[in-house]
Structure formats: C-alpha cells, structure tokens
C-alpha cells in the first residue's frame, strides 16, 4: 500500500476534506453581495461538504462543483442535488462566468496568487472569490507548530495572505477565522475513521493513521496559533 492509497482509505466517505461549516458559507455569500440567482463554482469541492450550504445561501443559484479527483466528483454526482453540476477537471482552467468562486481549503494547490490570477477571467462582472487558507494566527507560533507545518513551506500568516491577494490584483472585502466547530466538522469524522481502521492496520496504513492523529492533536493543543482564514476578495 502506498501512502497515497492509505490516505484515500482513511479519507474515503468523509463528509468534508477540511474545516468548514454552513455559517462560513452564509457569511461569505453575504460579504460578497452574491445575488440570489448567482452562478457559483465550488472549486476543489472534494466530497461536496459545502454544497447544501451554498444552495441554501443562494436559493435560486446554480453550483458547478469541480474537482480533479474523479471519486469525489462521482460521489457528488451520485447525490443528484438539484441546481448542482459535478465536473471532473482542473480548477486552474475554470471558464465561468461565475458570480462567486467558493474554494474551501483548495486554492493553495494552485498557490493563492497564481490561482486568483487564473480565476480572474472566470469571474462575472462584479464577481468575487471566497477562499479559506491555512495560516499562522499569532506572530510567534510555538516551535512544535512551525516544525509540523514545515511540510507546507508556503504557510504564511494573516498579513501574508492579504499580500498574496493584493499581488494578484484583488482587494479583500472581508475576512474571518474559521471557528472550532468548523474544525470539529472535519476532525470528528476523521477521528472515527482512524479508530475504525486501527485494528489490524498494516505498517504502511498505521504510519499514515499516526500522521493524521498527530495533526489533530497538534490542533487541539495549539488551535489559537494557526487556523483557516476565510477571505472574500474581488478584482481591484
Ligand atoms: C483539502 S481538499 C478540500 C475539499 C473541499 N473543498 C472541502 O472543504 O471538503 C482540497 C481539494 O482540492 C482538490 N484539488 C486539488 N488541486 C486541484 C485542481 N488543480 N483542480 C481541481 N481540484 C483540485 C483536491 O482533489 C481536493 O478535493
């Protein structure tokens, strides 16, 4: 079993692949001034954990859910949600036009600045992007936190994210830090999955289970020093 196989075994069937809650979606839709009939793209939708919240926040809108990973796209399509199309594809090449590009925990795959530049032409007139990005929340995070997140060398802080937005030629309309409840919505089901897979796990699987458990433990002990910043931005 490769580490990638183990990762997908652990993450199979999870409701979401990163922190988030319906309140974040409602807040972002409001902050962006998204109209009720908006065309929305959920870029890097994963298993589609935000789709119902998007449909509720934009009651006459339509959501195009895009992900590179075919299993996620099939899972979203199998839910047969009204007003949702699921598409397998590269979110670096969105065509639009979209009134809102929502991207929870996924823009970093493209690099924040590069991704925002790539999405500019996919936005409708007056359109906005809402994205969540892992970052440091305090000036001097504990060494343990910095050491752990060395696996993500691009990790910056709140001002750093703002600078990446500006460098893409966007202005920030509003930001907020995701709540503990948003993290629990991701970590609780993940913890249950880890516990279910522990008995009889191969060495390869156990190593990946350990790694996931370390991340959860780190967040529980140091949750005030790093988190997800949700930013609503639009071309300046
Ligand atoms: C951390 S997960 C977040 C998923 C989902 N937004 C959520 O909050 O549950 C990031 C997602 O981005 C997708 N992804 C990464 N690069 C991508 C790309 N270039 N185009 C489309 N999807 C991509 C991954 O397959 C994964 O599903």
- Dump the DSSP string for 100-157: EEEEES-GGGT-HHHHHHHHGGGEEEEEEEEEEEEEE-SSS--HHHHHHGGGSTT--B
Domain ranges in the chain are: 17-137+154-179+226-235
Q: pLDDT for 97-127, tens place per residue?
A: 999 999 999 999 999 999 999 999 999 999 9
pLDDT tens per residue, range 168-218? 999 999 999 999 999 999 999 999 999 999 999 999 999 999 999 999 999
Nearest CA to ligand 1 atom 4: 46
Mutate to test the pocket of ligand 1, among 10, 73, 106, 186 (most ligand atoms within 8 A of CB): 106
Query: Could you tell me where the beta strands, DSSP code E, fall in the chain?
Result: 39-43, 62-67, 84-88, 98-104, 123-136, 170-177, 226-235
pLDDT at 31: 98
Looking at residue 133, its pLDDT comes to 98
Task: Tell me the per-residue pLDDT of 121-164, one tens digit each, with 9 for 90 and over.
Answer: 999 999 999 999 999 999 999 999 999 999 998 999 999 999 99
What is the domain class of 17-137+154-179+226-235 according to CATH? Answer: alpha beta
Say how many Å lie between the CA of residue 173 and the centre of ligand 1: 24
Distance (Å) from CA 46 to ligand 1 centroid: 5
Structure tokens belonging to residue 98: 């979209």
- Give 12-24 pLDDT, tens digit per residue: 999 999 999 999 9
Within 6 Å (CB) of ligand 1, which residues are found? 16-18, 20, 44-46, 49, 66-69, 72, 90-92, 104-106, 109
Q: What pLDDT sits at residue 108?
A: 97
Distance 94 CA to ligand 1 centre (A): 14
Strand order in the sheet with 39-43: 84-88, 62-67, 39-43, 98-104, 123-136, 226-235, 170-177
Report how far apart the first and last C-alpha atoms of the chain are (Å, whole number).
47
Tokens 């859910």 correspond to: 65
- Give the mean pLDDT of the chain: 96
pLDDT for res 1: 83
Band (4; pLDDT cuts 50, 70, 90): confident
* Per-residue pLDDT at 3: 83
pLDDT at residue 227 tops 90: yes
Is it the case that residue 8 has pLDDT exceeding 90?
no
If you average pLDDT over residues 81-97, what whole number do you get?
A: 97
Q: What is the pLDDT of residues 33-83, one digit of tens each?
A: 999 999 999 999 999 999 999 999 999 999 999 999 999 999 999 999 999
User: Cα(137) to centroid of ligand 1, in Å?
Assistant: 23
Judging by beta carbons within 10 Å of its beta carbon (0-12, 13-18, 19+), is residue 158 exposed, middle or buried?
Answer: middle
Q: Using the mean position of ligand 1's atoms as its centre, give its distance from the Cα of residue 47 in Å.
A: 9
Distance CA 185, CA 188 (A): 6
Looking at ligand 1, which residue's alpha carbon is closest to its atom 7?
17
């Amino acid at each position: 079993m490769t580490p990638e196989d183990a990762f997908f075994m652990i993450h199979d069937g999870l409701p979401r692949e990163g922190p988030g809650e319906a309140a974040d979606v409602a807040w972002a839709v409001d902050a962006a001034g998204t109209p009720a009939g908006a065309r929305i793209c959920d870029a890097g939708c994963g298993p589609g954990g935000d789709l119902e919240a998007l449909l509720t926040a934009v009651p006459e809108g339509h959501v195009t859910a895009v992900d590179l990973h075919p299993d996620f796209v099939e899972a979203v399509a199998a839910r047969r949600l009204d007003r949702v199309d699921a598409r397998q594809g590269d979110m670096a090449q969105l065509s639009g036009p979209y009134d809102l590009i929502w991207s929870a925990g996924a823009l970093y795959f493209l690099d924040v600045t590069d991704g925002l530049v790539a999405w500019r032409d996919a936005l409708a007139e007056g359109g906005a992007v809402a994205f969540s990005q892992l970052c440091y929340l305090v000036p001097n995070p504990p060494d343990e936190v910095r050491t752990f997140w060395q696996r993500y060398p691009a990790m910056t802080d709140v001002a750093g994210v703002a600078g990446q937005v500006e460098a893409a030629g966007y202005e920030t309309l509003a930001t907020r830090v995701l709540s503990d409840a948003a993290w629990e919505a991701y970590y609780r089901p993940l913890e249950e999955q880890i516990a279910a897979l522990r008995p009889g796990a191969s060495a390869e699987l156990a190593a990946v289970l350990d790694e996931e458990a370390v991340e959860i433990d780190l967040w529980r002990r140091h949750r005030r020093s790093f988190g997800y910043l949700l930013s609503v931005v639009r071309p300046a």
